[in-house]
Chains A and B, each alone.
Chain A
Amino acid sequence: MREILRLALTLTAVAVLSASLLTGVNIVTEPIIIERQEKDYHQSLERFFPDVDHFETEEIDGDQYDIVYDQDGEMLGIMATVETAGYEAGLIYNLAVNDQGEIKGLVIVSHAETPGIGDVITTDEFQEQFTGKGFDDPIEDGEDVDSVSGATLSTGTMIVSVRRTVTTIGENFLDKQIRAFDPTEVADGIYQGSVEGTHGILTVEVEIADGVIERVDVIEQNETEAYFVDSYPKIPERIVEEQRLEVDTQTGATLSAERIVSAVEKALEEAPTVENGGDDTDEGR
């Protein structure tokens, strides 16, 4: 008993010593690190918005959005500081968006992606494909931007996150509206849509009856099981409950959740619309 106590006390003493030493060093270095990060941030700010005079900060969902103004109080755009899940640890980046909702540039502030693999997200080649894309672009892997094979998780997460940031900025600061999906416009029926999943195709089946989304089922998938069970059946439930596709996809399996939503989107895109008076069919084109 005495022996065990001695061992425990030794370990505790070493840990306490270590912690106090680290606290001391942290007190000295932290202000310097913060000051340097602020300087870096201002440099990026000036790079993307050369006429920057001042900015106002707003926080949405824990992320920081700086609305940038020039000398005359004219809004130049928004600089977002967003934290998203990386492959190993959190990943923080700045996204500059102009007043038209177009991306001006992307800066990775900190990351812990695998050297030589996931750290392609820091390359100009990967980042520049976002430049000029905006609120009205899909910003979707394989559509107008590409993930990097071999680093699909790191790059795919970035693409999804940039899309979400651009949407948030557009909706909150630029009065943009997502083209809302209206189930009453879709003819009754059962529709299927597929997207590329983690290890294969993910297919959903959507049933529309009397202009209401009755049912969403994932009928084929090959997602990572441990993650997937979290997002299913939450996402179909949310879609049916809210009768829209812009549901919260933060489930712990965000990638799979986003895929379910895009598959439903695909299914409904291809669905025929209800003929209510033939409004846009005989315009004489």
Chain B
Amino acid sequence: MKAGNVYLQDLSRGIINENPVFRLLLGMCPVLGVTAFFINGLGMGIAATAVLIASNVVISALKNYIPSQVRIPCFIVVIATFVTIIEMVLQAFQPDLYEALGVFVPLIVVNCVILGRAEAFASKKPLLRSLVDGIAVGIGFTLALGILALVREVFGQGTILGPDPDSAIQLFGAGFEPMGLFGQPAGAFIALGLLLGVVNIIFKKFNIK
């Protein structure tokens, strides 16, 4: 196998075969918490991706200097540092998104997707592959959040690009009664379950493992 293919493989594995949400069911807390609106879901995905890429790179670069006994606290400190940076940057430059994501931004620290990649991949693999892995898993996570949030927003609110009334597009006429359930956390479970079913059917059909 050619060397270039390793990166391509990492990329497709992170996005499709081992999609953190649809295949591994990791990091469910933000997945269910912030996906009532597409913009929020996407914002959360991008914030988590930024943290994931940064922590993957740094942890991969430091892997030879960190003794295995204290690796988990070191990983957590690295991740927490980047989360705090993201939090401060969001608060300064994207205050609306910061408000909308609320407590879920600091909670990225304990998102098991990120610690999972640090432990399972970045701490063992070379820097460049860890970077690709971070990008891939991040895209996979963002994609899943985006799809789930889109479904929930369309059914639960009848809009896309809400909740800001300036950008929100009403999809249906005035007579449309949104399915409030999909706006609620319980509806997130139901929507996620249905999406998982659809993803499984697609995977079976194309024989992807």
Contact = CB atoms under 8 A, between A and B. Distances in A.
B102 A112 contact: yes
Given A10-B70, A11-B73, A11-B74, A29 B84 contact: no
A112 B78 contact: no
B9 interface: no
Interface string B47-63: 00000000000000010
Interface string A189-215: 000000000000000000000000000
A188 interface: no
Summarize B's interface: helix, strand, loop or mixed: helix
A180 interface: no
Contact of B92 (A10, A11, A29, A112): A29
A22 B92 contact: no
Contact of B77 (A7, A15, A30, A115): A15
Interface in A8-53: 10-11, 14-15, 18, 21-22, 25-26, 28-30, 32-33, 36
Contacts, number: 57
A126 to B, nearest CB: 17
A116 interface: yes
Contacts of B88: 25-26, 29-30, 33
B70 A33 contact: no
B70 A115 contact: no
Interface centre among A28, A33, A112, A114 (most CB of B within 10 A): A33
B26 interface: no
B33 A115 contact: yes
Contact of B67 (A10, A29, A32): A10
Interface string A234-254: 000000000000000000000
B206 interface: no
The 4 closest A-B pairs by CB, nearest first: A29-B92, A32-B92, A18-B81, A29-B88
Interface of A: 6-7, 10-11, 14-15, 18, 21-22, 25-26, 28-30, 32-33, 36, 88, 112, 114-116, 119
18 contacts: A7-B69, A10-B65, A10-B74, A11-B77, A14-B62, A14-B66, A14-B74, A22-B81, A22-B85, A25-B89, A29-B91, A29-B92, A30-B88, A32-B92, A33-B92, A114-B103, A115-B102, A115-B104
